[in-house]
Amino acid sequence: MTDSSTVLIDARGLKKVYGRPGDKAGFTAVDGIDFQVRRGEAFGVLGANGAGKSSTMRMIACVSPVTAGSLRILGYDSGTDGARIRARLGVVPQDDTIDTELTVRENLLIYGRYFGLPWKVLRERSSRLLEFTRLSEKADDAVATLSGGMRRRLTIARALINEPEIVLLDEPTTGLDPQARHLLWERLFQLKQDGVTLLLTTHYMDEAEQLCDRLVVMDAGKIVAEGTPAELIARYTLREVLELRFAPGERQTMTDKCRGLAERMEELPDRLLLSTDNGEETLSAVHRQGVQPLTALVRRSSLEDVFLTLTGRSLLD
């Protein structure tokens, strides 16, 4: 077995600087990152807006040249073999870029033609994919009549027309309602079961925890942590979090009273987070200090807290 049969994406010292070559004032979006994605994995890239997620995805999709470092995908160099790599990738961009001048089915047919696939194959495949993404009834409708969730599913169907080995998803459920998100997750999970390697960016923690086997956290163009969701939670957070909300006028005094009650405390605009090994005990301690929160909630630590610990910011900032 060759190396590429296990590691499908291999990035080393990967860097992206926007601006003219030689221009010192260029903007560094990705600042020398290393990571590997193996066959069959669901790999997540987590980060706030502007962390460099989309730029990383665009380089992997071979639509944006690498500024420095090396990026090998499916055993090929992204700089010299872009077309060959793209032939085996499926791309779901952040904004739906469905061809609005075509119907739902025509979108799949024409997209398949860009891969040089024969019409006969495409007719069969597009029907199958419309069924897979639950769009069969919309097959001959104009794209304009689709809901947000349907559009996203069509984009996913389109990304699968060439039966790709890797599917890249840039914030796949951003802007969708909960029901549409769950349907999408279920379909993505099915893809994973079928052996497709998934690489997705997200700023939703529940999405990362549900879908990703392994993930990296990006901040300001760098990878600040890497591991499975459980590993990251164990490494960067305590077991539980106590969330407190206060009346607007009392916030500062209450926050001051809570200092020292937990090993770590994060102040967010709307609430106070206390990291602790035992949330109920900390809550008792809070009450003993005479702190009267409007609401108090004890929950298990999540990836959200990992992100907060690592970057000092909320993901949705």
Partner 1 sequence: MTAMPTGASAEIPLRPGRAWTMVERNLMIYRHTWPVLLAEIFEPMLYLLAFGVGVGLLVGDVPGLGASISYPQFVAPALLATAAMNGAMNETTFNMYGKLTTDKTYESILTTPMSVRSVALGEVFWALVRGAIVATVFLVVVSIFGLANLPEALLVIPSALLIGFAFAAVGLLTVTFLRSWQDFQLIQLVMLPMFLFATTFFPLDVYPRPVQVFVEVLPLYHSVELVRAAFLGTGGNPAVAVIYLAVLGIVALAVAVRRLEDTLRP
Residues in contact with partner 1 by the rule CB under 8 A? 18, 61, 63-65, 83-84, 86-89, 91, 93, 95, 97-102, 106, 109-111, 113-118, 121, 128-129, 132, 158, 160, 162-165, 190-191, 194-196
Nearer Cβ to partner 1 (49/100)? 100
Pairing status of strand 166-170 against strand 197-202:
parallel
Q: Is 20 exposed, middle or buried (0-12, 13-18, 19+ CB in 10 A)?
A: exposed
Nearer Cβ to partner 1 (13/65)? 65
Please provide the DSSP assignment of 287-311 as one string.
Answer: HHTT---SEEEEEE--HHHHHHHHH
- Helix or strand run (H / E) with residue 217: strand 214-219
Nearer Cβ to partner 1 (113/287)? 113
Cβ 85 to partner 1, closest distance in Å? Answer: 9
Nearer Cβ to partner 1 (40/227)? 40
Across the beta sheet with 68-73, the strand order is: 27-38, 7-18, 68-73, 76-77
DSSP state of 187: H
Cβ 69 to partner 1, closest distance in Å? Answer: 18
Nearer Cβ to partner 1 (155/301)? 155
Provide the β-strand partners of residue 142: 103
Pairing status of strand 166-170 against strand 89-92:
parallel
Cβ 131 to partner 1, closest distance in Å? Answer: 8
Nearer Cβ to partner 1 (195/312)? 195
Contact predicate 8/29, CB 8 Å: no
Cβ 120 to partner 1, closest distance in Å? Answer: 11
Cβ 27 to partner 1, closest distance in Å? Answer: 11
Cβ 288 to partner 1, closest distance in Å? Answer: 56
Alpha helix stretches (DSSP H) within the chain: 53-60, 82-86, 104-114, 119-132, 148-159, 178-193, 205-211, 229-236, 251-258, 279-288, 303-311
Cβ 108 to partner 1, closest distance in Å? Answer: 12
Nearer Cβ to partner 1 (196/244)? 196
